[in-house]
């Protein structure tokens, strides 16, 4: 105990000496009567009194320092309780049994809080719960192509095209027009953010191609996923600002925000017999950045 208190005691004596000299410089007459302008105190009683008060102040200082963690935790419990909770393990799950999807004639709902169990490893099996409703639709993203060759349907300020190829099963166009298809950007590092930037920036245009026919879309069919309250990974806390939850989820599990939601309303303009089509995304890209071009080519 004494060994732990010694640094605080020496700190108090040092601060008293420093403040005494500053007081003596500002008020020399008063300091002379109090003997504060001397490096050493001749009166042993005054010296012992100063040491005693320094010891008391050192104990208080140490107690405040030791209770800093308790104070900080109490403050966080009131202001930011979510930061004191353990963040659960998260993962991205894909429901992609293509054989079953081909048999669908209408959307099939997998409700949120559905329990998923991992494969057993060394006798341990992890259990996960889905956080959102997932709809299995009779449509499949079968391929993706990236080109930097000019096209007659591109604007003058556009030099790149990202083509998403889809298959529609069982002529289910009618039941798909009111649905939104989630698409996960499975790419390295922060490249999904670059894709999102290309899709949502001004100057990007969209079209649907089937056979030799191209239908221009007047609006962006994509939406962002992960920002709404019903898309939260964690239970909602009414005492916490919505933005703090988003920040924590982003830094703990950034993959959550690598999703897009494709509004299939454009299928109303596609004939019922068409089973294969392409969604064309025309945008401007810095072709001198070979790393970005290579990442797009490897999607």
The full DSSP string for the chain is -HHHHHHHHHHHHHHHHHHHHHHHHH-HHHHHHTT-SSSS---HHHHHHHHHHHHHHHHHHHHHHHTHHHHHHHHHHHH-GGGGSPPPP--------HHHHHT-SS-EEE-TT-EEEPPPBTTB--EEE--S-EEE-SEEEEEEEEE-S--TTS-TT--EEEEEEEEE-TT-HHHHTT-EEEEE---STTHHHHHHHHHHSTT-EEEEEETTEEEEESS--EEE-S-SGGG-SS---TTS-HHHHHHHHHHH-GGGGSEEEEEGGGGGGS-TT--EEEEEEEE---TT-HHHHHHHHT-
- Write down the pLDDT at residue 37: 61
Same domain? For 171 and 35 the reply is: no
Q: Is the pLDDT of residue 8 over 90?
A: no
Same domain? For 153 and 254 the reply is: yes
- Which is more confidently placed, 124 or 291? 124
Average pLDDT over residues 49-70: 87
Q: Is the pLDDT of residue 299 over 80?
A: no
Average pLDDT over residues 15-38: 79
- Write down the pLDDT at residue 279: 93
Average pLDDT over residues 224-242: 83
- Write down the pLDDT at residue 2: 72
With bands split at pLDDT 50, 70 and 90, how would you rate the model's confidence at 148?
Answer: confident
Domain contains 204: yes
Domain that holds residue 37: 2-66
Same domain? For 164 and 252 the reply is: yes
Domain boundary among 66, 89, 118: 66
Domain contains 83: no
Domain boundary among 36, 51, 66: 66
Domain boundary among 41, 66, 91: 66
Average pLDDT over residues 154-163: 84
Domain contains 264: yes
- Write down the pLDDT at residue 66: 85
Q: Is the pLDDT of residue 88 over 80?
A: yes
Maximum mean pLDDT: which of 37-41, 70-74, 167-171: 167-171
Same domain? For 19 and 152 the reply is: no
Q: What is the mean pLDDT of the chain?
A: 85
Same domain? For 150 and 233 the reply is: yes
pLDDT digits (tens, 9 = 90+) for 248-274: 899 999 999 989 999 999 999 999 889
Model confidence, pTM: 0.71
pLDDT digits (tens, 9 = 90+) for 190-208: 788 888 888 998 889 999 9
Domain contains 188: yes
Return the percentage of the chain with pLDDT > 70, whole number: 97
Maximum mean pLDDT: which of 38-42, 215-219, 292-296: 215-219
């Amino acid at each position: 105990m004494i060994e732990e208190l010694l640094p605080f005691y020496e700190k108090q004596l040092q601060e008293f000496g420093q403040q005494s000299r500053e007081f003596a410089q500002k008020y020399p007459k008063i300091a002379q009567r109090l003997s504060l302008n001397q490096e050493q105190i001749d009166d042993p009683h005054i010296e012992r009194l100063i040491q005693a008060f320094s010891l008391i102040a050192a104990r208080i200082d140490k107690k405040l320092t030791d209770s800093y963690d308790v104070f900080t935790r109490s403050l966080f419990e009131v202001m930011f309780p979510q930061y004191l909770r353990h963040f659960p393990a998260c993962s991205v799950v894909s429901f992609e049994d293509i054989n079953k999807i081909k048999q669908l004639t209408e959307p099939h709902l997998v409700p949120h809080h559905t329990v998923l169990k991992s494969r057993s490893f060394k006798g341990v099996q992890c259990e996960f719960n889905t956080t959102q409703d997932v709809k299995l639709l009779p449509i499949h993203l079968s391929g993706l192509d990236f080109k930097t060759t000019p096209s007659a349907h591109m604007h003058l300020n556009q030099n790149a095209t990202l083509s998403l190829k889809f298959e529609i099963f069982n002529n289910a166009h009618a039941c798909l027009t009111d649905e939104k298809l989630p698409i996960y950007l499975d790419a390295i590092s922060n490249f999904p953010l670059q894709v999102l930037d290309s899709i949502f920036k001004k100057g990007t245009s969209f079209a649907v191609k089937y056979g030799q026919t191209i239908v221009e879309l007047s609006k962006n069919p994509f939406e962002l996923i992960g920002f709404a309250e019903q898309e939260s990974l964690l239970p909602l806390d009414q005492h916490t600002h919505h933005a703090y939850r988003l920040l924590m989820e982003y830094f703990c599990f950034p993959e959550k925000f690598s999703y897009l939601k494709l509004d299939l309303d454009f299928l109303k303009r596609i004939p019922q017999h068409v089973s294969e089509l392409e969604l064309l995304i025309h945008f401007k890209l810095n072709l001198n950045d070979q790393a970005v071009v290579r990442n797009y080519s490897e999607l």
